[in-house]
Chains A and B, each alone.
Chain A
Amino acid sequence: MRRFSIALGVCALALVTMPAGVDAKTFRYSTSGDVIGMDPHINNEGPTNTMKGNIYEGLVHRTPDLKVHPSLATEWSNPEPTIWRFKLRQGVKFHDGTPFNADDVVFSFKRVTHEQSEMNTYVATVAEVKKIDDFTVDFVTKGPDPILHQNLTLFYIMSKSWTEKNNSVNPVRGATSEIYANRHTNGTGPFKLVERVPDTRTVLEPNKDWWGKPTHNLTRAEFKPITNNATRVAALLSGEIDMMYPVPLQDVPRLNQTQGVKVMEGPELRTIFLGFDQERDELVASSVKGKNPFKDVRVRRAFYQAVDIDQIKRVVMRNAATPTGLMIAPGIVGFDPELNKRYPFDPEAAKKLLAEAGYPQGFEVQLDCPNDRYVNDEAICLAVVPMLARIGVKVNLNAQTKGKHFDKIGLKEKRNTAFYMLGWTPGTYDGHNALYNLMVLKDKGSGAWNSGAYSNTKVEELTAKMASETNQEKRLAMLKDAFRIHKEDFGHLPLHPQALAWGVRSEPPASTTPTRPKRRVGVGH
């Protein structure tokens, strides 16, 4: 059972290590937005998935070090390339007391692949789930899938009988009525949902019959979203909440100086980058007519070397960012510190490159940027404008709300952009996800967010090959190869993984690093 004891949110650890003698207690935490519904198979949103992960469990789960560990499955194997066999845990009960078995897994697979589910992406490669006996299931994949178990952490298991009883067999949204499972839950996880008042509070209590061994001393956890940054900071300072995130960057030093409050920082898994349109023969909203300067690698390189990343880090991000040369963050499979080294900042070289490429006077281009999606997103773009002006490129900034931004650079408006900002977290914690979505343009479905239509056949071949390569070592080599080629191509202009800043009361454990996936707070695992 030792394995499971590390399976715990950092936030909970912070409480565990409090001086002995403190009674078990309520843990109150807050983020900027509420979770959006408790049905485990409808919304696919980071913080919501984490909240659901306190209540529901998958066959496997991920610990703070991002490794995959058993949950409802005790062991698994990949006997044939297209078959994954999972042995299920026996004696597990749902919160309503009904026992868990293979039927629930088969049922949950059917439910998660319903047409209105957004969580189907995590089982997209699975053709069928077969019950072998009550505690053995086979996942039959459409093709070889070497990383299936990594994706299954967010495939939450529901009780077949409970959903049937409560008219929630199909995950339905947008209809005229609310589904029962939206505000009621019945999982197998370490916490039970006690109360949910949308936008006000979500209250959890430990599940005393949980199969695992809890390593926290909580008797109750209250999640209370606070939208306003200043109010959230105030609530932490006044002791009304024990932990909150995100901490506004400008408040970090102040909180660190306050007695009883600490800020825990670490890199997030989302990498922020800029991209160039390399497809059109003439850029949209640019002064260059009849040709596309970004098709020339020298121009892309000039942009890269003209961006003073250290200044962005220091001034815009207040040091809460780690400049990166890679499109994936540390912790993602495929990350390589060697590849992560950036090409040097060198505006003189950049100017020369531009001149060689035939733009000694520079040119004019529009930069599309969100203003409410990433940490200081618009500020980063604003900082890039004068940096590029130094090499003669006039950047017109078009910063707008995320919905409009993503429509514009996405497929909805057919990648209507010349130069854009985007951030990406590989949902599978694997570099292949970034390659597949951002850097290839091959088969249908790939490159959904390759908004500049970067395309290199070598990268595309490697991406396709690694998808079915079951030898993990060979696969890793392919991943690194693909990222190296992309880097030498200057396919994108990576900036930094966003920083994660949590404000906590009481002393955080010195030995723990806050590397929870994405920007999430889980009290369970």
Chain B
Amino acid sequence: MAAYILRRLMQAVIVMLAVGFIAFGMFNFVGDPVTNFIGQDATPEDHERMRAALGLDQPFYVQYARFAANAAQGEFGTSYRLGMKVSAVLAERLPATLELVFAAAAISILVGVPLGVYTGIHRYGLLSRAFLTFSLVGISLPTFLIGILLILVFSVILGWLPSFGRGQVVPVGWWSTGYLTQSGLRSLILPAITLGLFQTTLIMRLVRAEMLEVLRTDYIKFARARGLTERAINFGHALKNTMVPVITIMGLQIGGLIAFAIITETVFQWPGMGLLFLQAIQYADVPVMSCYLILVAMMFVLINLAVDLLYYAVDPRLRADRGAVRGRQV
């Protein structure tokens, strides 16, 4: 087991090095950061001086080697745009993104699962069809459009919710949370719905399909024959058995949520990592871009690792198989 985890972690390091390398190479195509941030009146000497000061006059492989060596020690340099340490900037933005992603995931489960169950049980109900139609909207409309529509309705026309920002945040250790203030929670609603809508509809359709499948099985028929209540059958027996694939998908989608957050964060000016990344691209802020991509790669690697380990823990057959394979090798 330990060897398995170690091997996976080794792979993770290689993946991150590769991502760092590709990211770093790619950023040679966003233009010269110095041209971007130095004033128009700067002389060519100013440009050279600035390039030298930032180490940008070195060849690509030297820059990458220096970057990788520093990154290995947790040192990602200073953002060109903000003048702050990249690690500090990301640490500041991470809570915003994670809180948004968490809220979106919560919405998608709390709304998606009941709707999926309902539409699974009442297959031909009018309401079910309405939900299914609505779910098509969630799947087909692009995120930024949903965000803008929500802003139009709830901020501009009704004036109920703020259209941008994160409201007031409260520091809890190094974490800053918007969950504890009224303005923070109000600000969270629209972006969380925007980000979570796609996942909501995905979960709803998944649960529905699984429910339809399970409700046809023999043990449900037996449960009915035993005279169990509908409630017990639907939730105690049917739903429980649909949850395994839902949990798997949800776990994998967390990574997707973090990635999709870029668009949602831009629409709502949510001060998370996605917004930071987009602004870094516009400014050719290479240290921030590289660090962000490496961080996201790390998250994906970790999530996948966790999912793998969960399988290992949940599914006894996996362990048995592995044992059998090993046995044969010996």
Contacts and interface: CB of A to CB of B under 8 A. Distances in A.
Interface of A: 33-34, 36-37, 39, 42-45, 115-116, 118-121, 173-179, 182-183, 197-201, 224-228, 230-232, 234-235, 237-240, 372, 401-407, 410-412, 424-425, 427, 433, 437, 445, 448-449
Contact of A176 (B35, B85, B165, B279): B85
6 contacts: A121-B41, A178-B88, A227-B275, A238-B156, A427-B41, A449-B40
A36 B81 contact: yes
Nearest to B33: A403
A37 B82 contact: yes
Given A42-B83, A407-B31, A412-B47, A437 B41 contact: yes
Contact of B155 (A37, A39, A234, A445): A234
A465 B37 CA distance: 31
Nearest to A42: B83
Contact of B163 (A36, A234, A433): A234
Interface stretch (B7-15, B220-228, B261-269): B261-269
Interface stretch (B48-56, B203-211, B305-313): B48-56
A446 to B, nearest CB: 9
A445 B41 CA distance: 10
Interface string B137-180: 00000000000100110011001001111100000000000000
Contacts of B78: 173-178
Q: What bracket does the count of chain B residues touching chain A fall in? A: 35 or more
A403 B31 contact: yes
B30 interface: yes
B35 A235 contact: no
Nearest to B285: A36
B29 interface: yes
A175 B79 CA distance: 10
A115 B52 CA distance: 11
Interface in B15-37: 29-33, 35-37
Most buried by B among A39, A116, A178, A197: A178
Given A230-B148, A238-B163, A372-B282, A182 B39 contact: no
B89 interface: yes
B83 A234 contact: no
Contacts of B88: 178
B41 A231 contact: no
B75 A240 contact: no
Most buried by B among A39, A407, A437, A449: A407
Contact of B276 (A39, A199, A234): A199
Closest 4 CB pairs of A and B: A403-B31, A44-B39, A37-B83, A174-B54
B41 A174 contact: no
Nearest to B32: A407
A404 B30 contact: yes
Contacts of B229: none
B44 interface: yes
A433 B41 contact: yes
A199 B84 CA distance: 12
Given A198-B82, A403-B284, A227 B278 contact: yes
B77 interface: yes
Given A39-B83, A176-B77, A228-B266, A200 B152 contact: no
Nearest to B166: A200
Contacts of A119: 39
A45 B39 contact: yes
Nearest to A39: B83
Contacts of A176: 75, 77-78, 85
A78 B47 CA distance: 32
B80 interface: yes
B46 interface: yes
Contact of A410 (B35, B92, B271): B35
Contacts of A199: 82, 271, 275-276, 279
